[in-house]
Amino acid sequence: MILAATALVFVGLLALSLPIVFALGVAGVVGLWLGHYPLQMVASSIIGGSQNWVLLAIPSFVFAGSLMERCGMSTALVELARAMVGWLRGGLGMSVIVVSYFFSDICGSKMAEVSALGSALMPPLRRAGYRAEDAASLISAGTAMGMLVPPAIFMIVISAVTNQSAVALFLAGFIPAATMALCLCLLVLIQAHILGWPRDTRPSWRNLLRALREAAVPLVVPVVILGGFYLGVFTATEAGAVVALYAFLAARFYYRNVSWREIAEIAYESGIMTAAVVFLLAVASIFQYLMGVMEVPRLLGELLAPLESSHWLFLTGVAVMTMLFGMVLEGLPAAVVLIPVVFPIATHMGINPIHFDIVQTAAVGIGLFLPPMGVGLLMALRFADVGVFQHARSYWPYLLALFVGLMLIICIPELSLFIPRSAGFIR
């Protein structure tokens, strides 16, 4: 009864357009009051939920990603992707997937990535003869895949929620992201022959070398992240500081197109976003305490009991729930509300925590671009000027490719565990 009343308050506040973080906090306090639980848990839960060292990496990566996007690194990556795969039939569409993999490495924010890719790639896609629906599908599917490429902010949050190493989670994301990217590229190749999509460029070593030279500055970031983490040179927080410093130096002394005023604005926006994320985690801890004392994990465990016969069935069921949460509540609320409840069940079953986190990260990425309410999808459709239902007819093959990639990640745990294991993070 208390749980139903709490959920009703939460949904009602969302219907009144109250921000999710406040709706979650008010619903949690109402639940504590109705259940006669001590209200001093509000203060202790908020303080405890915000005290995690890995969260210090968030402002650095947000600042670095925003600064890199502002100074035009995304343009260089787009040209590199076109030089790499543009000579294939449907190469321009395939380059959307490739640049999504590159750009996720330097951006860390899905909304910033949609904005950058939409503005940079939507016009050339339309000029090349791609329908608006197909262009939106390519950008949406590519950005959904990019959730797995570090340094996604969601990875930092889920590592804090599940008490896992953010570095191990970063390393674990590269191969699963490449797996989903490969599924999408194969789909684009098939679509290109069916729909008659053109080749974008001719194969040219000269163009490729020129694009590599121009993209050398942004490509330093993934090399630094992967190499530094793999060799144990720095932690996630230190990596954020290094990448932020590199972005500052590149913007000011190489590109020279970002003013001090713009840098100050980006720093301010990064601080605001970080405060929002930390406040969300802090408020969600009230909700997590309430669900714990009301034995919600036990109830959910009983609900998922039929799926516990095999790991892949359980992970698939939880991934579907996570996708639906990600579609309705966006990514971070999905992490702080659902994942703490199901994570103990997964570890009790013997599922590797890193593998579990990677599957949930992929599921949230798909959920953000799941029709009809995924916030990332709606933003991509805004760039394409296409309605949700008009777009759905063209989008289902891309969703199918994402689901195939997700099932490969679920059924082959070593895709997620190989790099962290070889780096010594998993024994």
40-89: pLDDT as tens digits:
777 776 676 666 666 777 788 878 877 877 887 777 877 888 788 878 88
Query: How confident is the model over 255-274, as pLDDT tens digits?
Result: 888 889 998 998 888 888 77
Quote the pLDDT of residue 361.
Answer: 92
Q: How far apart, in whole angstroms, are the C-alpha atoms of residue 189 and residue 202?
A: 16
Does the pLDDT at position 100 exceed 60? yes
Q: In this predicted structure, what is the pLDDT of residue 87?
A: 80
Type of residue numbered 217: V
Rounded distance, CA 31 to CA 410, Å? 35
* Residue type present at position 256: R
Q: What are phi and psi of 308, to 5 degrees?
A: -80, 0
Helix (H), strand (E) at residue 278? helix 260-293
Percent of the chain with pLDDT over 70: 90
The token duo for 314 is 């359980």
Higher-pLDDT residue of 161, 300: 161
Sign of the alpha-carbon torsion through 196, 202, 208, 211: negative
CA angle 114, 118, 120 (to 5 degrees): 120
Is the torsion defined by CA of 329, 330, 336, 339 positive or negative?
positive
pLDDT at 105 over 60: no
The model's confidence at residue 406, banded by pLDDT at 50, 70 and 90, is very high
Cβ pair 124, 244 in contact under 8 A = no
Cβ-contact 237, 60 below 8 angstroms: yes
The residues that bridge with 361 in the sheet, in sequence order, are none
Token duo for residue 258: 């970002």
Token pair in block for residue 99: 């640049």
